[in-house]
Amino acid sequence: FDSPLHLETIQVRIELRRIKVKRIGIEGNYFPLNSMAFIQDTKHRLSLLVNHAQGAASWQTGWLEVMLDRRTLYDDSRGMGEGVVDNKKTITKFWLLLENVLESNEYSKPSLLANYLSLGLMYPPNIFIFDTLSNDAVLGSKPKLNFHSSVQLISKPLPCDVHLMNLRTLSDPSYPLFPSESALLLLHRQGYACNAATDVSIPKCSVQLSSSAFYPRTFFIGLKTKSIVQTSLTGLHKISSVKSFDNISVQPMDIVTLNVTFVH
């Protein structure tokens, strides 16, 4: 693999190419690795996907190195006069992906498969189980367990290249400690390379040919929306009102923020 090291420094998929600087050694050629890194030649690509931030280097041709842990033995003049000696054990998970690539003059981006696996690695599902006690719990009856094999929030799944970054309830303007009827919805459309992993199909994964963020006639299940407003990234400034999810579009590598107000 005779190519620069490709790193994605933030999760909105901004890609940087790093060229080796020999005079500062390998320790000066480590760069942040927050989601994935890959090296490639004209036919193959080797991608390394991580579940949390690491450091990566490509010191030699075909070399991809990741630093799992670092412990300094000396003070850096910014601490308590000693090195870091109380590191905690952490679990690190990786995906090592070998893909076929076709020659292209386009800006190098991860494949759709790499994006798909990366999201699953960084955002594993959290599974919760809760008990419901019957009315005669005092008599010693066993609690009823409530298991759901799946929970569907919207009528249709999001396109495979659209990532739900966040859906959080806003505080009530008059009572900050209480929730309001509105929530901020953040969507990110990931950019992906069409010349990588073209021979791989992902089950239940399809993309929109247009820039629409949702499939037509998508709506919340069990909830009625009162209004949808596109806002700035922080949700503080209104941009425009939207009639339905059908009118929301997001370009590759962009993030859109929506203020969704529900009917009480």
- For residue 48, being part of any structural domain is answered with yes
Structure tokens at 141: 């009856």
- For residue 218, being part of any structural domain is answered with yes
Question: Are residues 190 and 94 both part of a single domain?
Answer: no
**Cβ proximity of 110 and 119 under 8 Å:** no
Question: Are residues 114 and 15 both part of a single domain?
Answer: yes
- Residue 178's CATH number: 2.60.40.1360
- For residue 246, being part of any structural domain is answered with yes
Question: Are residues 76 and 170 both part of a single domain?
Answer: no
Give φ, ψ of 254 to 5 degrees: -110, 160
Question: Are residues 110 and 29 both part of a single domain?
Answer: yes
- For residue 90, being part of any structural domain is answered with yes
Cα dihedral sign for 165, 169, 171, 172? positive
DSSP line for the chain: --SPEEEE-STTT-EEEE---GGGTGGGG-EEESSEEEEE-SSEEEEEEESS-EEEE--STT--EEE-----SS--SSSSSS----PPP----EEEEEEEB----SPP--BHHHHHHHHHHHSPPPP--EEE--TTGGGTPPPEEE--S----BSSPPPTTEEEEEEEEEEPSS-TTSEEEEEEEEEEEPP-BTTBSTT---TT----SSSBSS-TT--BTT--EEEEEEE-TTS-SEEEEESSGGG-B--TT-EEEEEEEE--
Q: Encode the chain (264 residues) as per-residue pLDDT tens digits.
A: 555 666 665 555 545 556 778 888 887 888 888 888 888 888 888 999 999 888 888 888 888 888 887 666 666 566 666 666 677 788 889 999 999 988 877 777 889 999 999 999 999 888 777 666 555 555 555 656 667 777 788 999 999 999 999 999 999 989 989 999 999 999 999 988 888 888 888 888 888 888 899 999 999 998 899 999 999 999 999 999 999 999 999 998 899 999 999 997
What total of structural domains would you count in the chain? 2
pLDDT at site 135? 53
- For residue 52, being part of any structural domain is answered with yes
- Residue 37's CATH number: 2.70.98.30
pLDDT at site 128? 74
- For residue 147, being part of any structural domain is answered with no
Residue corresponding to tokens 């966040």: 166
pLDDT at site 14? 47
Question: Are residues 92 and 180 both part of a single domain?
Answer: no
List beta partners, residue 259: 184, 229
Question: Are residues 19 and 93 both part of a single domain?
Answer: yes
pLDDT at site 104? 77
Of 84, 29, 82, 98, nearest to 57 (Cα)? 29
Question: Are residues 87 and 177 both part of a single domain?
Answer: no
Question: Are residues 55 and 115 both part of a single domain?
Answer: yes
Amino acid at 73: L
Question: Are residues 118 and 11 both part of a single domain?
Answer: yes
Give me the domain span that covers residue 228: 162-263
Amino acid at 132: T
